[in-house]
Each structure stands twice: as C-alpha cells, then as structure tokens.
Structure 1
Amino acid sequence: MSCGEGGKHEPLEDSRMDSGIDSYRSMYKSEEPREVSSDFSPGPRDKFVSAEERLDSAYESSSITVDSLGDCVKSCNLDPEGPQEEENPLTSITEDGDTILHLAIIHEDEPFAQQLIDFFPKEVLDIQNNLYQSPLHLAVYLDQADVVRSLVERGASLQLQDRDGNTALHVACQHGQTQCVSHMTQDWSSNKLAPVLQTHNWRGLACLHLAALYGQHEVLKLLRKKGAEMNVQDGTSGKTPLHLAVELHDIALVKMLLSWGVNVDASMFNGCTPLHLAVGRQDAAIANLLCQSGADKMLRNMEDETPLDLADGNDDILALFPFDDIQISGRSVVGVNY
C-alpha cells in the first residue's frame, strides 16, 4: 500500500504491508497501564498448557482468594521443617491460577512477597496464572521495582510470555518503568539479553517497538546501552523504531535515533523507508532531518514510488528534492552534457 497517510492506493495482498500507525494504536488502545486486581478473568486456553501441567505438581487448586490473603498470611508457615496445615496456602492455587506469591504482589504486600521470593524455589517463581502472567509480570504491572529486582536476582525467567505474548520486559518498556527495565537488564551480557529483546509479542512487536510507540525515550536509552539492535523490525510490517517515530511525528525521537546511527534507509516489507513515511505524512521537518542524515531520495517501494511521488504538491517537501537534474528511470544523472 502507499506510504502516505491518505491511503490513496489499494493495499497489497499481504496484510503485513500496512504502514499506518493507527493499526498499532488500535491494537493497544486497551493497553494502558492495567490495574491488577482479583477480578482478572481467565484468558483463552487453546494455545496454553492446562493448570495440571504447571511447573510444580505440588500445587493444587484452592478456595483461597485475593480477599483472604490476610488470613492466609497468618496461617502460612515459612519453616519447611515446621508443622504443616492440611491445606497449605503456600502450595495452593486460586481458581484464577494465582499462587500466594501472585496474591501478595497483587495486594501490594511487598514485605510478604519478599519473604516468599526468598523461600520459594525458582520453579515456583515462574508459575503463570490463567492470563499467563508470572509474578514478575505482575510486579512490573504494579511498578514494584524492589520486587522485580528480587525476582530477577533469584533467577525468575524474563522470557515467559503472557497471553498477549508480552514478556515482563515488554510491559516495562511500554509503560516507561525505567527502574524495572534497569533491574531486568542490569547484569545481563548482550548475548543473554538479545533473545528477550528479539522476542515479538503476538502483535509482532519487540520491546523497542513498544518503547518507541509510547514515547519512552529513557527506556530506549537504557536498552541501547545494553547493546539492543536499534534496527529491529516488527513481525507484521517490518517497521523499525525509526519508522514508528516518523509515523508518530516524534521529532525528538527521530533526532535521537539518527544520532545513534540507525539505518536511515531501512525498508519495511513493502519497501517503504522512513523518508517515504515522512513525505507521505506531509512532515517536512522530519523529511528534512532524514535527508540531512543521508536518506536516499530515489529508493522505490513495492508500488514503484519514490518519496517524491508522495509529496502531493507540498512545497516545503518539494524543496528538498532537486528539479534541475535529468532523471533516467527514476535516477538522477548529474553532469550531463547537453
């Protein structure tokens, strides 16, 4: 499809060619920071393992609820050699799939959560509830940075994905939780961090895409310091963070990315470069920035359009393109003898 905002052309057969930022926004219009509560409803189970296949088979369904956490805490015995109740809340799971650690985090009882983190083995720390949220997911949603740090230090997995395909790092990047991001990436070598940064959620977005979409500049700076690949493409249309910054008219982010030396001519799956998108959206300021950074003005997308073809009579944008050169097959020929 055209890279312009007006959508003058019919879309290509492959739905991945969508170049509109609105599709991303609509995907995530309900993804404002969620208030985690006991009303979480179970998500679709078709692609997930059942409750019986949990990591720790000692865990059983129970009648405990988030509202009864206080009573559970009183009855908990954190001494593994001490007397055990017949129904031990430490090894019980609610009908929503939450362990007592999930509930402690949801209830924002951080001291109790910290005790549980120290007490439980790693396998229990990675148990996911019916929404496939691990305790780490919930701690990030609720911005409990100290709990996040403790979970990471105890070896909680950063690669677990919730029912939307988001890792805990995806969530932190989207909501700009820089402390949580810092804790989750603090001691990682670049080769260990890379698989998580390259993970796409079910919408095809990596952590850097979410940070760019939601204008989380500080998060992007943190990830760059960790060696993140700043030209990573999304899985649906092939956009890089620079494409997204251009579509959002986020000139500050465009400047920042260009200063880091990102690929100014990166192509989407439909061949559109950031300059195609800037011109198609009639953004002369960003188009000028891209041209100053060496963007190729003559690259063609899959509809055989150069950025100039999308200028639509905008004088500010047309001024960026020379008209005194002879062009043969769309390429400027300089120094021709007449």
Structure 2
Amino acid sequence: MASGDYRKDDFLEESRADSGINSYCSLLKSEERSTELGGPRDKFPAVEERLDSAYGSSSLTVESLTEIVEGITLDREEAPATSSGLSEQEENIITSMTEDGDTILHLAIIHEDTVIAKQLIQLFPKEVLDIQNYLYQSPLHLATYLNLTDVVKSLVAKSVSIELQDRDGNTALHVACHHGLTMCATEMTSEMSPTKLALVLETQNWKGLACLHLAALSRQHQILKLLMAKGADLNIKEGTSGKTALHLAVEIHDTTSVKLLLNGGANVDAAMFNGCTPLHLAVGRQDTAIANLLCQSGADTMLRNVEDETALDLADGNNDILALFPFDDIQISGRSVVGVNF
C-alpha cells in the first residue's frame, strides 16, 4: 500500500477508533432491523433522549444527516438566536451525544460524508468542533484517521485545536505521521504559527513518541521530509530510552531515513539514556551499510556507553564492520587505545 493510502478498512481495525465506528455500525444495524421488520425509520431523536445513548435508538443515514443539516439551516434563518448566538434547535443538536460521546459531526465524519461534515463545520462554533468523544478523539482525529483531507482542511480553517490528544496521547498530527497521511499533515501544519507548531512537534504520546519518532518508526519518508522542512527538532529524544529518530531508523535498518536525517543535520553521536549512539546500535545489529554511513558522517568510534563499551566492542568479530574502523584502534583488554607506541 502506498504511503498515504490509508483505507477505511484499516481505520475499522484501529482499536483506538472503535468507539465512533461501533456506534455508527450499531445505528446502521438498528435501522436494518427496523426496516426488515416493517417498522418505521425514526428520524434523529429528540434532545431528551441524548442521555439514553442520544442517537442510539435511531438510524443515521446520509438522508437523515442531510435532513438534520437542512433543519439547522432553516432554523438559523427563521428562529431567534439564544444568548450563545445559536438557535435552540442548534444548541440541542450540537449538545447531543451518543453513548460513546460522539457528536453528529463525529458521526458524519465516520460516515465519510464530507459534504455534510463540511456543512456542520461551517455551522458550528470552534468549541463544538473541538469536542472529544469518550476515547478523546476530536473530529480532527477521525477525519485524519480516514484521510479526509477536505474535512481536515475545513477544520483547520476554523482554527480547531491541533494539540488535542486522544486516549493514547496522540494528536491528529501524530496519527498522520504514523500512517503516512502527507496531505492531512500538510494541511495541519500549513497555517500553524511557529510557536504552536513547535509545541505540537514536541508533544509526546503516552509511549513517549513525538511525531518525528512515529514517522521514522513507520518508514514514512515523505512525512519525515515535511517535518524537517517545518523545522522539527531532529534530535528530540523519545521518553522511554532516549532514542532519537536516527536511533530508531538504525534499529529498523531503514537506510533511506538514516540518510535523510543525517543530511538534515541530525546528531550522528546522539546518546541514549544508556549512552549508546546510533553507531553502537548499527554495529550491534551487524548492519555494515548503516554503520558505514554513520562513520562517513563523522561518527565518533571511541564513545562509550554505560557498559563502558565502544561500538567496536560490539563488532563481535564481523570483519566487514571491523574494516570500517581506523587501523590505529588497538584493543587491549577490551579497550581501544589510540596511538600507542611499542
């Protein structure tokens, strides 16, 4: 699958998004059962039902969504606004939620009805657009998961909060970086102020991973290029072991990412919390090609980790890797000695 081709089937398999999807699927099943039994198709439920799973007892289809949006538009034209600037019907609808905390906008996005979603985005204030469901997913999270670039663009144009984190600590930009959704990531970063962008790029999810780390782990080279162009800190360390994106790229033997990061100015000698540099990892994994790249980029072969080991100590007799090191690196009792005169 090409980078960025994140299909709906993939989204359905994401456990973190099961709340919204399941609520929508249950609505469709409810509708199908009602139709099969010859029963009526209920319209959108009254606001009084929202505490009882809000939309749960009713069907939600493209037609019903259209009716709701048309109703809001007519009500906006004909009914007086409340103190909040919204009509009573608008307030009722936007405060209605499913048992999973999904708003009508969440459901329109899950339904992948971009026309309705964009209409709702224009109708609703920012506070509603930032509502998170019970898995802490905002509409922007869901639109990103489903790669609905136009919806993402509309949400960004209304200045939604890009820094909101879901139950895994991921922002919508984390999602885009992990799945290679370059267009969504581009929309989210295009109009963001440098200060806010820096904040989002530094944000770590609950596994300690920033956007750059996820892009490296997922071999998302276009995303890496985008983040580098946006000024991402290439030496930011993930929170569990202190690895940089370069360490992660070395670990998964991704030569392309290693080259991108080195050419972008990543610190070739960055140390993890245990003192291991990317060269330690490359040699320890017997990756001659990447070890060679790191040496050509000036990696210090004499740096020691907390176990007092240099990268050469980890070569384990691999002649191809040993050949990368200077001939004056002499091992005495397991320690490298430079320039010793005998």
User: Which TM-score tier does this pair reach, normalised by the shorter chain?
Assistant: 0.7 to 0.9
The letter of the residue matching 2:163 is: Q
Comparing 204-213 and 70-79, the one that deviates more: 70-79
1:117 counterpart (121, 138, 144): 121
1:89-100 matches, within 5 Å, as 89-100=93-104
Distance 2:118 2:294 in 1: 49
1:92-171 matches, within 5 Å, as 92-171=96-175
The letter of the residue matching 1:333 is: V
Q: Which residue of 2 aligns with 1:63?
A: 54
Contact 2:250/2:258 (CA < 8 Å) preserved in 1? Answer: yes
How many residues align? The count is: 290
Write the deviation string for residues 178-223 of structure 1: whole angstroms up to 9, x where unpaired: 0000000002233220110000000000000000000000001111
1:39 counterpart (9, 13, 22): 22
Q: Which residue of 1 aligns with 2:67?
A: 74
The letter of the residue matching 1:74 is: E
Indicate the structure whose relative CO is greater, using CA pairs within 8 Å and at least 6 residues apart. Answer: 1
Q: Which residue of 2 aligns with 1:181?
A: 185
3-state secondary structure, aligned to 1:92: coil
Distance 1:210 1:86 in 2: 39
The letter of the residue matching 1:230 is: L
**Over the residues paired in the alignment, what is the CA RMSD in angstroms?**
2.5
Distance 1:64-1:287 versus aligned 2 partners, 3 A rule: same
Contact 1:93/1:100 (CA < 8 Å) preserved in 2? Answer: yes
Contact 2:234/2:265 (CA < 8 Å) preserved in 1? Answer: no
The letter of the residue matching 2:184 is: C
- Cα deviation, residue 318, structure 1: 1.0
Identity between Structure 1 and Structure 2 (%): 64
- Cα deviation, residue 87, structure 1: 9.6
Distance 2:155 2:222 in 1: 23
1:209 counterpart (174, 196, 213): 213
Contact 1:33/1:175 (CA < 8 Å) preserved in 2? Answer: no
- Cα deviation, residue 91, structure 1: 3.0
3-state secondary structure, aligned to 1:39: helix
Comparing 68-77 and 123-132, the one that deviates more: 68-77
- Cα deviation, residue 333, structure 1: 2.9
1:295 counterpart (293, 299, 314): 299
Whether 1:246 aligns to 2:229 is no
Distance 1:144 1:200 in 2: 24
Segments of structure 1 that go 5 or more residues without pairing to the other structure are 1-31, 42-57
Distance 1:146 1:325 in 2: 58
3-state secondary structure, aligned to 1:38: helix
Distance 1:63-1:178 versus aligned 2 partners, 3 A rule: same
Distance 1:120-1:59 versus aligned 2 partners, 3 A rule: farther
Distance 1:86 1:200 in 2: 36
Segments of structure 2 that go 5 or more residues without pairing to the other structure are 1-8, 25-47, 80-87
- Cα deviation, residue 252, structure 1: 1.2
3-state secondary structure, aligned to 2:165: coil
Contact 1:97/1:130 (CA < 8 Å) preserved in 2? Answer: yes
Distance 1:327-1:310 versus aligned 2 partners, 3 A rule: closer
Distance 1:154 1:123 in 2: 10
Contact 2:23/2:98 (CA < 8 Å) preserved in 1? Answer: no
**Runs of 4+, deviation exceeding 6 Å:** none
The TM-score normalised by the length of structure 2 is 0.79
1:270-285 matches, within 5 Å, as 270-285=274-289
- Cα deviation, residue 243, structure 1: 0.4
Write the deviation string for residues 267-291 of structure 1: whole angstroms up to 9, x where unpaired: 0011100000000000011101101
3-state secondary structure, aligned to 1:288: helix
The letter of the residue matching 1:250 is: D
Distance 1:157-1:331 versus aligned 2 partners, 3 A rule: same
